[in-house]
Amino acid sequence: MGNSSSTNKITPRDKAILDLKVQRDQLEKYQKRISVITNREKEIAKECLRRGDERSAKLALRRKKYQESLLEKTDAQLAQLQILTSDVEFALVQKDVLFGIQQGTQVLKEIHREMGGIENVEKLLGESEEARAYQEEISELLANKMSNQDEDEVEDELEALEAEVSGVKLPEAPGNRIDLTEEQKAARAKERARRRAQERAAGQAAEPMAA
């Protein structure tokens, strides 16, 4: 048929399943036919009774009974066919599962082979352990090389850092500039001048002591 169906082939197995299912359908159709017949016989029996023909009514009912017994028999056969089709389909699923397991195992094996077996892994782990030990040795050597002075400095810095971390946090300086009025500027200049004079006085007082 179309070129697109080249990958999707109908296998002989599919045909066998189809045959099974067609059989099943035929049984179903047969059952439908029988139920139509039994209904008709019932109608006939009713009709006969209405006419007072009891014998014919009985005959019709007998025919109906027989058809019903056939229906029961086909029920069993239908069930059998249905079980068989389900079994076949389930077997197909099982086959797929098996195939999947096979594929998975193969891939797993391949990956293991690429890893080069247990000995290789052990060897690699040993090597990595060795390298780590070597690195540790180097670190130790380097640590011993440090002089006492260096260590002191390190400790000082640590203390300073600790103080910074745990110490009081200073309030932040205001970001914006404060505009001062003329009056305030004048007041500040005066204040500054006063402080400088004080400082100078203190400096002169201290000098004679140094001298």
Partner 1 sequence: MTMATDSSTPNSDFQFPPLYNFPPFFTLQPVLATRKSQLQSWSSLIQSYCRHHRLWTLTLVDALETPLFNNTKLSRRLSLRDARAIIDWMTTPEGDSRAEWIPTTGKKPSRSDEYSEAGKCWIYWKRPEEWASALEEWVDRTGQKGTVLTLYEITEGDATRREEFWGMDSTLLAKSLAVCVKRGKAQVFGAEGSEGVKFF
Please give the residue ranges that form the binding site for partner 1 (CB under 8 A).
1-2, 4-5, 8, 10, 14-15, 17-18, 21-22, 24-25, 28-29, 89
Contact 90, 98 (CB under 8 A): no
Query: Smallest distance from the beta carbon of 25 to partner 1, in angstroms?
Result: 4
Query: Smallest distance from the beta carbon of 85 to partner 1, in angstroms?
Result: 9
Q: In terms of CB distance, is 44 or 78 closer to partner 1? A: 78
Query: Smallest distance from the beta carbon of 108 to partner 1, in angstroms?
Result: 27
Contacts of 49 (CB under 8 A, 6+ apart): 57
Q: In terms of CB distance, is 56 or 82 closer to partner 1? A: 82
Q: In terms of CB distance, is 16 or 121 closer to partner 1? A: 16
Query: Smallest distance from the beta carbon of 7 to partner 1, in angstroms?
Result: 8
Q: In terms of CB distance, is 56 or 85 closer to partner 1? A: 85
CA atoms 36, 39, 45, 46: torsion sign: negative
Query: Smallest distance from the beta carbon of 83 to partner 1, in angstroms?
Result: 16
Query: Smallest distance from the beta carbon of 104 to partner 1, in angstroms?
Result: 21
Kindly report the number of other CB atoms within 10 A of residue 25's CB atom. Answer: 11
Q: In terms of CB distance, is 97 or 201 closer to partner 1? A: 97
Q: In terms of CB distance, is 16 or 154 closer to partner 1? A: 16
